[in-house]
Structures are given as C-alpha cells and as structure tokens.
Chain A
Amino acid sequence: MTEVLETVIELVSETLQLSYQVDGTTPLVGAMPEFDSMAVVMLLTAIEDHFGITVDDDEIDVSIFETINSLSDFVSIKV
C-alpha cells in the first residue's frame, strides 16, 4: 500500500468517525451513509491541511469520490 493511500484511509476513517475497517476498494459516494456533503467538505479540508495541497473547486467531481482508491489517486497526482 502506498503512503498516500494509507493516509487517505486514516483521514477518511477519522473524518467520518467510522467504526469499521475500510480499504482502497471501499466505495464512498452513494454507498456509505456517512458520506454526505458535509463529509466531502470536511474530508477535502483534512486532505488539504494534511498534505499541504490546494484543491481547486473546479476539480471537485463525483468521480474522485467513487472509492478510497480514486480519492487516493487524485491526491497522489497533487502531492
């Protein structure tokens, strides 16, 4: 597992206060009840703070949030 993926998993679990284990293939949007618009904003803020990157609002697209892997891929390009 890459370091970015590991961190993204941590951030997702922490931000959404998940009580169960998740991995790269865990689907997010539309599949996880905790994953609402507030969660998207919190997760983006946590990712920006943690990796020191800026996510442009135009980049925010549902495809990024399909799974934890897709989110991690998006972050990997930016760091």
Chain B
Amino acid sequence: MFPAFLDGEKGKLFSLYLPPESESCKGVVLHVPAFAEEMNKSRHMVIRQARDLSTMGYGVLLFDLFGTGDSEGDFADARWQTWINDTLNLIDWLAENIHSNVTLWGVRLGGLLAAVCASQSEKVYRLVLWQPVINGEQFMQQFLRLRLAASMMGEGEKETVKSLKVTLVKGEPLEVAGYVLDAQLFSSVVDTVMNSLDISHLQQVAWFEVNSVVKPLAVPSQKLIASWQENFHFSLNVQVVEGKQFWSNQEIVWAEHLINQTTLVFAS
C-alpha cells in the first residue's frame, strides 16, 4: 500500500494506492467515500474490498475528500463542486498513468457523487454503487435530523428541520453531529438527484443495497433502475444482499455478502 498526498483543487488530498497483485493490471478502481460519520463507519469495509480487488489484479485508489479524513481543509470548507473537480482530476490521472479502464466505486452519498462524476467523464467505464443516495434533498433531511434529535434530548429550545433550513438558506453554516455543514455544500447536495444524470456512455453499472432480510429494492431505486433500463444500454447488475447496514450501525459491523458479490462483478 502506498500512502500519498495528492494535489487537489483547494489542498492536499490524502490517498492510499493499492497496486494490482498480478503481473498485468486489469483496470483501475477509484473509491468515492461516504459522507461525514458514514465514511468512518464504512472505512473497514472499504479497505477490505480494496484489498480483494488488488489481489484480483486491479489497482485501487482510496482518498479522503477535501475537508474530510486526513485530507487538508476543515469540513466547513468542503464544497460539492470541489469534490466533483477533485474526483474528475483523479479519474484523468488514473486513466493516463495506470489503466484506461476506470471504475468508480461509491458508497452512500459517494455513490451519488460518483454518478455525477461518471456523467461528466467519458473515461469512466463502470460504476459500482453501495446503497447509493439517489436524492440529495432526502439525504440532507435525514442528516439534519441528527441535530433535531440532539435538541430533542437536550435542555435547549426545540428545533425543527424547517428552522434549520432557514439558517442554511441564509447562507450560514450549521453544526450537525460535530460537523460544520456549509450552506453551499448543503444546497448543492439538495439540488442533486441521480435520475437527472446522463450516464449513457457507461459499459456497466452494479447496484447493491444491503438489508438484514433479503427483500425487493426500495421503491425509489426500482423506479430509477427501470428508467435506466429503458433509456441506457449498459449492462446492469442489481442486487439486495443480506447484511448489516454498516454505514449507520453504532458498532463497526461487516457485510460479508456485499464484499463477495462486489468482487464477483470485477471477476466477470
């Protein structure tokens, strides 16, 4: 494994490169991380998956988005557009220097970010999504709930999501669960939905959802996938795998089937 600080648009980005453990490189995989606490809760799954892919002969690049993890910048400085630009630059660099077959692999909000980047880069061949966020507004609503829940249990004045949104719309940052959420980051995510993206040039999309019992896909996901099937020609692999929802669980938990099934996508 090779740790390195790469140049990003607004500062250095911490990265970890796992080279292919085979003579020939089958392709390169760029991981796009989840948001805030979900990123921390996903780290162990991500590194395990990355190791599997590297064993199979893929080069895998993990990095921390600007303002998160070990990259430069504070969370309050993070902007959606910076994240997009940094990811696009890494795609270009990997395609030129490692392998032209580029896979983007995104977790939760990182899935939405990966899809946005895929729609803006012809170099992306395959998209792999783990429990992707498909509606930025709904995701932000759930994130704000964290603060609401904290205020509910505290002594202070009871807040509402509406009152929190008013603060953000005024352009003021808001602290949620220890993260200072910038108003621009908030509004950019709110304005992003997966079903408006043109990803027609992709060759393959693999979509995974994780549930404690295997059941049909969530209804919004079903609708989106139906529209992709109608409009796009890439091969589509959609699965609900049994496992714990590691990104939100209070403890660090594993979803083994998710890793196994993801690895199979790369074996084909």
Chain A residues near B (Cβ < 8 Å):
14-17, 29-30, 34, 36-42, 44-45, 49, 57-58, 60-62, 65
Contact = CB atoms under 8 A, between A and B. Distances in A.
B47 interface: no
A38 B160 contact: no
6 contacts: A36-B153, A37-B152, A38-B146, A42-B249, A49-B218, A57-B161
A57 B153 contact: no
Given A37-B150, A38-B37, 19 more contacts: A37-B146, A37-B152, A38-B146, A38-B149, A40-B153, A42-B249, A44-B145, A45-B142, A45-B248, A57-B141, A57-B145, A57-B148, A57-B160, A57-B162, A60-B148, A60-B152, A61-B158, A62-B153, A65-B152
B251 interface: yes
Interface string B143-159: 00111111011000010
B153 A42 contact: no
Contact of B142 (A17, A41, A62): A41
A40 B149 contact: yes
A62 B146 contact: no
Contacts, number: 56
Most buried by A among B141, B149, B162, B250: B149
B202 to A, nearest CB: 28
Interface in B119-153: 141-142, 145-150, 152-153
Interface residues of B, number: 23
B76 interface: no
Contacts of B37: 38
Contacts of A34: 250
Contacts of A61: 152, 158
A27 B251 CA distance: 21
Nearest to A49: B218
Contacts of A58: 160, 162
A30 B145 contact: no
B177 interface: yes
Contacts of A49: 218
A32 B109 CA distance: 30
A57 B250 CA distance: 22
Nearest to B152: A62
A38 B212 contact: no
Nearest to B150: A37
Nearest to B250: A17
A68 to B, nearest CB: 17
A62 B156 CA distance: 13
A6 to B, nearest CB: 15
B148 to A, nearest CB: 6
A72 B4 CA distance: 50
A16 B251 CA distance: 9
Contact of A37 (B153, B158, B161, B253): B153
Contacts of A62: 152-153
